């Protein structure tokens, strides 16, 4: 313990390339796939329902593949076989989304289904790679590093790649492709660049990250359902349940807003489509800046205390957004955009504090044979919220307008704050103060 987290910093940075890929693909997907769908569908509720496709797959596949990887044993590790196969395939499919979106609704739905199937399957092994290699007491700091890497991917995606959404790959008179079709379809360039970057990141992981070998035998792994049952029957069962219910509520808020932020900027504030990803970009910048300090600070004052402070501040910001839109209604577009993006920047500060420290609280209660189980449970509850939230918030927008989106999110954050108050476990062993 004397050398602290410093000796694990570079390894964590390398593992962070897995999170970089998610940060690169997710914002482009969440921002532009709803816009692609709106070419064919007029209802926000219907768009929200289709945007839950990836969340339904994550609800099913992440727990299964994460536990499967717990039981995998190969020369290159138990997580790496999934990463090196599924991550490049998901990248290639990602690059095909804009060209097929220009063909038909059926083609768009088909490509996002197959893309999400592969991307979802690799997510559990990518996430579980960190707790496999970093000691439990330093996972808040490590999670800060890897979330910073994810945030860098988000910034590159939203503030750099998204600006090229309307740039054509081929000149109109080149004869290579017609304008608006094939690889000249809107979005083809940023999605294609992201595809190449994700494949490169997968190669970095494979080349430089060596997994810690396990000493347990196959017989030491309990059956799948026995593993799940053991989580809820141990000494920490009450805390595990409360953390999972809390994260259900805060993801209800987060996932409910995420698919509609681009539409909010375009349809409510009046920004152009090239600016549709700025909201996630603003939150991503603050997340990158605060990800690592959030891990260190939570280690000092307690993960639970830190998360609850962040939750109450997130609720306040979400309640302020619709009020600010009323006040700034007569302002110029630039000023309205600046006010909203400033609030999203603050939102990113406190959201990253929740994300960085919630996973380590669960992993603190796991062992080497159950890391995948706890990882899977995290995604079972978070993706249950993600499945439910978009159609609900889409309906809220259809009925009451965009301000209702943020009121709904604020109430969900308050519910998470309340439930989190009863958590009694999950702190680092040498945390100075666990909080109330």
Residues 6+ apart with CB under 8 A from 434: 302, 304, 305, 427
| Vertex 116: Cα angle to 86 and 224 (nearest 5) | 70
The predicted structure's pLDDT at residue 116: 92
Supply the pLDDT for residue 93.
95
Q: What is the pLDDT of residue 248?
A: 95
Residue 68 has pLDDT above 90, yes or no: no
User: Which stretch, 184-198, 216-230, 299-313, has highest mean pLDDT?
Assistant: 299-313
CB 146 within 8 Å of CB 130:
yes
Q: What is the pTM of this model?
A: 0.75
Count Cβ neighbours within 10 Å for each residue of 107-116 and write b for 16 or more, e otherwise.
Answer: ebeebbeebb
d(CA 311, CA 410): 9
Q: In which band, very low, low, confident or very high, does the pLDDT at 6 lie, cut at 50, 70 and 90?
A: confident
* Each residue's pLDDT tens digit, 107-125: 999 999 999 999 989 888 8
Rounded CA gap, 247 and 419, in Å?
9
Which residues make Cβ contacts (< 8 Å) with residue 219, sequence separation at least 6? Answer: none
C-alpha dihedral sign at 202, 204, 207, 213: negative
Q: What is the pLDDT of residue 419?
A: 95
Higher pLDDT, 178 or 435: 178
pLDDT digits (tens, 9 = 90+) for 372-415: 788 888 888 988 898 888 888 988 888 888 888 999 999 999 99
Mean pLDDT of all residues in 325-340: 76
Q: Where are the alpha helices (DSSP H) in 97-138?
A: 97-101, 105-133
Structure confidence at residue 235 (pLDDT): 62
Weakest-pLDDT range from 80-94, 250-264, 345-359: 250-264
Contact status, residue 89 vs residue 120, Cβ threshold 8 Å: no
pLDDT at 2: 45
Once rounded to an integer, what is the mean pLDDT over residues 159-169?
A: 78
In 209-273, where does DSSP find H-type helix?
224-231, 237-257, 261-263
Mean pLDDT of the chain: 82
Residue 428 is predicted with a pLDDT of 75
CA distance 35 to 394: 14
How many Å apart are CA 360 and CA 99, to the nearest integer? 39
Cβ-based neighbours of 60, under 8 Å, separated by 6 or more? none
- Residue bearing the bigger pLDDT, 141 or 3: 141
pLDDT tens for each residue of 95-107: 999 989 888 899 9
The domains of the chain are located at: 4-210+224-420
CA angle 357, 359, 364 (to 5 degrees): 95
The Cα 387–Cα 255 span in angstroms is 8
Mean pLDDT calculated for residue range 148-165: 84
Q: Give the pLDDT band (50/70/90) at residue 218.
A: very low
Question: Percent helix, strand, coil in the chain (nearest 5)?
Answer: 75, 0, 25
The number of residues making up the chain comes to 436
pLDDT of residue 227: 61
Nearest to 82 by CA among 63, 93, 68: 68
Contact between 299 and 141 under an 8 Å Cβ cutoff? The reply is yes
Burial of residue 267 (number of CB atoms within 10 Å: 0-12, 13-18, 19+): middle
Least confident of 175-179, 281-285, 302-306, 380-384: 175-179
Q: What angle do CA 63, 254, 128 make, to 5 degrees?
A: 30
pLDDT for 435: 35
Alpha-carbon separation of residue 110 from 53, 88, 90, 104, 113 (angstroms):
11, 18, 14, 10, 5
For 4-210+224-420, CATH gives: 1.20.1250.20
Nearest to residue 342, comparing CAs of 283, 387, 424?
A: 283
Q: Is the pLDDT of residue 274 over 90?
A: no
User: pLDDT class for 254, splitting at 50, 70, 90?
Assistant: very high
- State the pLDDT at residue 410: 95
The residue-averaged pLDDT of 317-341 equals 81
Spatial contact of 149 and 62, defined as CB atoms under 8 Å apart: no
């Amino acid at each position: 313990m004397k050398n602290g987290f410093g000796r694990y910093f570079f390894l964590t940075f390398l593992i962070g390339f897995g999170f970089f890929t998610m940060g690169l693909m997710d914002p482009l997907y969440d921002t532009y796939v709803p816009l692609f769908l709106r070419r064919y569908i007029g209802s926000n509720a219907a768009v929200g329902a289709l945007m839950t496709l990836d969340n339904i797959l994550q609800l099913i596949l992440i727990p299964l593949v994460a536990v499967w990887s717990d039981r995998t044993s190969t020369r290159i590790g138990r997580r790496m076989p999934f990463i090196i196969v599924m991550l490049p395939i998901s990248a290639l499919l990602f690059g095909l989304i804009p060209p097929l979106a220009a063909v038909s609704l059926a083609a768009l739905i088909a490509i996002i289904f197959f893309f999400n199937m592969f991307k979802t399957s690799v997510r559990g092994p990518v996430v579980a790679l960190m707790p496999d290699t970093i000691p439990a007491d330093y996972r808040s700091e490590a999670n800060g590093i890897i979330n910073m890497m994810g945030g860098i991917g988000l910034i590159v995606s939203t503030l750099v790649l998204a600006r090229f959404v309307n740039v054509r790959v081929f000149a109109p008179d080149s004869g290579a492709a017609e304008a608006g079709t094939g690889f000249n379809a809107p979005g083809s360039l940023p999605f294609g660049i992201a595809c190449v970057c994700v494949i490169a990141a997968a190669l970095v992981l494979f080349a430089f990250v060596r997994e810690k070998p396990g000493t347990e035998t196959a017989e030491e792994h309990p059956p799948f359902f026995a593993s799940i049952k053991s989580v809820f029957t141990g000494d920490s069962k009450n805390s595990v349940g409360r953390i999972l219910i809390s994260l259900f509520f805060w993801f209800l808020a987060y996932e409910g807003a995420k698919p509609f932020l681009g539409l909010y900027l375009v349809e409510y504030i009046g920004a152009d489509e090239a600016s549709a990803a700025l909201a996630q970009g603003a939150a991503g910048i603050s997340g990158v800046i605060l990800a690592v300090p959030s891990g260190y600070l939570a280690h000092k004052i307690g993960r639970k205390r830190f998360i609850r402070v962040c939750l109450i501040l997130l609720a306040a910001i979400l309640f302020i957004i619709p009020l600010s839109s009323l006040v700034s209604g007569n302002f110029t577009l630039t000023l309205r955009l600046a006010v909203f993006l400033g609030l999203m920047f603050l939102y990113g500060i406190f959201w990253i504090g929740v994300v960085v420290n919630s996973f380590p609280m669960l992993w603190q209660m796991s062992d080497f044979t159950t890391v995948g189980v706890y990882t899977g449970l995290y995604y079972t509850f978070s993706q249950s919220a993600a499945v439910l939230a978009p159609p609900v918030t889409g309906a809220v927008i259809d009925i009451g307008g965009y301000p209702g989106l943020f009121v709904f999110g604020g109430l969900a954050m308050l519910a998470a704050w309340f439930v989190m108050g009863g958590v009694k476990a999950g702190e680092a062993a040498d945390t100075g103060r666990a909080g109330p």
